[in-house]
């Protein structure tokens, strides 16, 4: 008879004995976290303190940087603790809390990039209507939806997973993952699977909508003036690069979850599972700070 329980804790099996190297890994992860917090916090302060940056595009960027802080804070302190620990277990309540943070971070990231693409579409393709359509109230509503929809959708996802009866408590990752918990279930997971598919399809539709928006922008640029092309290039390139980087990171994670990756070296599997949660918070501040002139000038002035 299979013993079905609701686990009080989970064991993270992807950790391995690093001996004296654990202090080196700790310093590397700590340095990355400090760099992420410093870079994103600097850009948030720069945008908030300079009235010339109180425009829709920079408000959406500020929301993006806040999300980078939120997502990295849901992962890095936990990683630092686990690296120094000899027992890699985590309570079920904390595990689900981490899943909530990580998954909402991903949803907010895509939603924010979608809103930013819409903003650029209006600015470049409908410049005469931009100020009337992208009002302060509209900006507030879009940012609110960017955060509220992911929180609601992931809350439902976590609620479905938390109610499952499990046959085990071992997660083969270095952090808690919803799909790994669903795979441990002994009870019926049909509702979880259907909701997971709908949620994934929704994210795919958002990504496709973003690419479609940029194709429309590209079409306008091809037949526009040199000034229009330069404006599009300077503001849209960072958005597209950020989208491609994050989409690739999420793709790596989905492939790892859905397929047997035992033939891939263990360290590479860990790196790929962490890529979307570590590189994006590092990538975005550098990308936007260097490529958008107004931000770069204000950052240099602040320093």
**Which pLDDT score, from 0 to 100, does residue 281 have?**
93
Q: How far apart are alpha carbons 214 and 114 in whole angstroms?
A: 10
**Which pLDDT score, from 0 to 100, does residue 292 have?**
66
**Which pLDDT score, from 0 to 100, does residue 154 have?**
95
Q: How far apart are the first and last CA of the chain?
A: 65
**Which pLDDT score, from 0 to 100, does residue 114 have?**
94
**Which pLDDT score, from 0 to 100, does residue 294 have?**
66
0.85 exceeded by pTM: yes
Q: Which residue has the tokens 């790994």?
A: 180
Q: What is the DSSP string of 210-256?
A: HHHHHHHHHHHHHTS-HHHHHHHHHHHHHHHHHHHHHHHHHHHHHHH
Exposed/middle/buried for residue 205 (C-beta within 10 Å: 0-12, 13-18, 19+): exposed
**Which pLDDT score, from 0 to 100, does residue 1 have?**
35
Exposed/middle/buried for residue 79 (C-beta within 10 Å: 0-12, 13-18, 19+): buried
**Which pLDDT score, from 0 to 100, does residue 7 have?**
64
* Strand 9-12 versus strand 170-171 pairing type: parallel
Contact 47, 53 (CB under 8 A): yes
Backbone φ, ψ for residue 169 (5° rounding): -140, 25
**Which pLDDT score, from 0 to 100, does residue 299 have?**
61
Domains and CATH numbers, the chain: 9-302 (1.20.1070.10)
Mean pLDDT by 10 residues, the chain (303 residues): 59 80 89 94 89 88 95 93 88 93 95 93 87 92 95 95 89 90 89 91 91 86 72 77 89 81 81 88 85 64 58
């Amino acid at each position: 008879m299979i013993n079905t329980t609701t686990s009080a804790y989970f064991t993270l099996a992807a950790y391995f004995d690093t001996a004296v190297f654990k202090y080196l890994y700790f310093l590397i992860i700590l340095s990355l976290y400090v760099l992420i917090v410093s870079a994103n916090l600097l850009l948030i302060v720069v945008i908030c303190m300079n009235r010339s940056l109180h425009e829709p595009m920079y408000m959406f960027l500020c929301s993006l940087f806040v999300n980078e802080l939120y997502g990295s804070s849901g992962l890095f302190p936990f990683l630092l603790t686990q690296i120094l620990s000899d027992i890699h277990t985590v309570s079920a309540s904390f595990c689900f809390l981490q899943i909530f943070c990580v998954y909402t971070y991903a949803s907010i990231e895509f939603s924010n990039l979608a809103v930013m693409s819409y903003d650029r579409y209006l600015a470049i393709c409908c410049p005469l209507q931009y100020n009337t359509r992208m009002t302060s109230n509209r900006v507030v509503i879009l940012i609110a939806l960017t955060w509220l929809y992911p929180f609601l959708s992931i809350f439902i996802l976590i609620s479905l997973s938390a109610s499952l009866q499990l046959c085990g408590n071992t997660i083969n990752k270095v952090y808690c993952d919803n799909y790994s918990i669903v795979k441990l279930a002994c009870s019926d997971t049909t509702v979880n699977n259907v909701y997971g598919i709908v949620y994934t399809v929704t994210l795919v539709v958002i990504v496709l909508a973003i690419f479609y928006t940029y194709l429309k922008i590209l079409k306008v640029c091809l037949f526009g003036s040199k000034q229009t092309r330069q404006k599009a290039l300077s503001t849209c390139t960072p958005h597209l690069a950020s989208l491609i980087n994050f989409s690739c990171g999420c793709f790596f994670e989905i492939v790892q979850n859905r397929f047997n990756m035992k033939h891939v070296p263990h360290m590479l599997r860990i790196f790929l599972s962490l890529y979307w949660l570590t590189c994006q918070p590092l990538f975005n501040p550098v990308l936007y700070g260097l490529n958008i002139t107004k931000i770069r000038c204000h950052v240099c002035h602040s320093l």
